[in-house]
Amino acid sequence: MPLYRWLLTALFLAVVAAPLSTGLAPLFEARAQVPLTETVDEPEPAIDPVVDGSDDVAIADRLRGIFREIEGLEGVAVTVDAGVVRLSGPIADTASAERAKAIAQRVSGVVTVESQFERDLSVGRNVEPVVDKFSASMQNFLSALPLIGVAFLAAIVIGLLGHFFASRMTFWKRVTPNIFLAELISGFVRILFIMVGIFVGLDILNATALLGAVLGGAGVIGLAVGFALRDTVDNYMSSIMLSIRQPFRANDHVRVGEQEGRVVRLTSRATILMTLDGNHLRIPNATVFKAEILNFTRNPQRRFSFVLGVDADDDPAAAIETGLRAINGQAFVLDDPEATAEIREVGDSNILIAFHGWIDQRQSDFHKARGAAIRVTKNALEEAGFALPEPIYRLRFDNGPPQLMDMIGKPEAAGGAGEKPTRAPTGEAFDVSPEDHVERLVDSERSDDGSSDLLDDQQPVE
């Protein structure tokens, strides 16, 4: 704010606020006289009606003797008249003036005290106390140096002892489930010993109150930082939970939410996947911990499903029997559990039939097997005379040209439908061997990259 605004504000307070407060003072005094309760305050001691002059002299002598013994108050002039004490003379600061006034009020026989001090601006009177205080502080510090050295040495020894215990990673790895928790406990032990060392050092110096103030401030700061970094803390805690109860192994084929791929590694911050396209995908552990995880590798048996439609005039039971015979005839389809089918929906011009079959993912690729099953089932239904309905559109032409009417009457003239391509025999063997390219990429990356991995085959899998 500019200087002139400060001046205008001060002038406003002096002109307006002061009269206003003076005018309202009687009102507040009147309200203060109204008793809020029935309690009666004790009356103040009355002033003696007669004061002897010898009493004033005694009071003045008493105060002069007291002030001569107090540093900084030696030059205070004291006059007493009818119990009213007037203090004057040069004084170094306001605190000394208040102190002199308080001492005078405590002397018996004093009615009131008026201070008429003058600020002493001499260099010696103002600088000398500061120099004396600094000199005394330095002497106390030099005297306390041996004790400070002992306290510092004790704190260092305890801190080094904590560092020694925290560095025994082999021990912590045996105690904890995984390396992540081992590093976490190791850091906690190190910090704990450092705090104990600081406490012991301050206790030797008899300054434990300082530690309480520091810890209180650290708690407030930690709370503020916790609110500001709550997402980071959430991700950190999720990493701990995922490392303890692991939901997958390395190279498992999983789907996390909407993302799908093979697990490369679990780090302290994120889960690394390699998508089926061969790309790296980094998902924060907080997202992984809260998301739905679908693991395709845990159970090697997996069911495929597809829907085919037949004409509404066909027998759906015969179509189901024909389709299941074709599916069960494939070597990659498991006999136990056996393939099944059911009528899914009956429409205006077709009947939708859902077919299901089981494969072993260790021997067959899911997508290849499903595609092969759809192909052999479709071919078997068509060979058995079942019509797979196609969309039918009815067109009406009124008074069309003769050439168009001739084309409608002769469909072969419109497009000249050629011969259909030769179908593969129903019993033909299909290549449904598993695709292992992405799996080999993951294995290669895990063997070449030295990054830390929290996944451990010795830990339980949820």
CATH code: domain of residue 117:
3.30.1340.30
- Does residue 388 belong to any structural domain of this protein? yes
- Does residue 221 belong to any structural domain of this protein? yes
Encode pLDDT of 301-335 as tens digits: 999 999 999 988 889 999 999 999 999 999 999 99
Q: Say if residues 386 and 308 touch (Cβ distance below 8 Å).
A: no
What is the pLDDT at residue 188? 84
Pairing assessment for the beta strands 259-266 and 270-274 based on DSSP bridges: antiparallel
Confidence of residue 287 (pLDDT cuts 50, 70, 90): very high
Residues 307 and 409 in one domain: yes
The region of weakest confidence among 164-168, 248-252, 268-272 is 164-168
Residues 151 and 223 in one domain: yes
Span between the terminal Cα atoms of the chain, in Å: 64
Residues 403 and 317 in one domain: yes
Residues 74 and 173 in one domain: no
Pairing assessment for the beta strands 280-284 and 293-295 based on DSSP bridges: unpaired
Residues 403 and 312 in one domain: yes
The single residue listed with the structure tokens 């790895």 is 173
**Final residue of a structural domain among 99, 121, 143:** 121
**Beta-bridge mates of residue 304:** 357
Residues 219 and 147 in one domain: yes
- Does residue 399 belong to any structural domain of this protein? yes
What is the pLDDT at residue 433? 83
C-alpha to C-alpha distance for 309 and 353, rounded to whole angstroms: 6
What is the pLDDT at residue 121? 66
**Final residue of a structural domain among 179, 200, 227:** 227
Residues 311 and 342 in one domain: yes
DSSP state of 265: E
- Does residue 350 belong to any structural domain of this protein? yes
Question: Looking at residue 388, which CATH number applies to its domain?
Answer: 3.30.70.100
What is the pLDDT at residue 302? 94
Q: Say if residues 243 and 237 touch (Cβ distance below 8 Å).
A: no
What is the pLDDT at residue 196? 87
C-alpha to C-alpha distance for 310 and 385, rounded to whole angstroms: 10
Residues 306 and 203 in one domain: no
The region of weakest confidence among 48-57, 170-179, 256-265, 369-378 is 48-57
Residues 404 and 339 in one domain: yes
pTM above 0.85, yes or no: no
Residues 309 and 407 in one domain: yes
**Final residue of a structural domain among 227, 259, 293:** 227
Q: How far is CA 202 from CA 194, 219, 267, in A?
A: 12, 19, 40
Confidence of residue 380 (pLDDT cuts 50, 70, 90): very high
- Does residue 138 belong to any structural domain of this protein? yes
- Does residue 72 belong to any structural domain of this protein? yes
Radius of gyration (C-alpha) of the chain in whole angstroms: 48
The single residue listed with the structure tokens 């037949």 is 310
Residues 146 and 220 in one domain: yes
- Does residue 34 belong to any structural domain of this protein? no
Structure tokens at 112: 């009131």
Q: Domain tally for the chain?
A: 3
Residues 149 and 223 in one domain: yes
- Does residue 22 belong to any structural domain of this protein? no
- What's the chain's average pLDDT? 78
Q: Say if residues 107 and 59 touch (Cβ distance below 8 Å).
A: yes
Domain containing 61: what range? 53-121
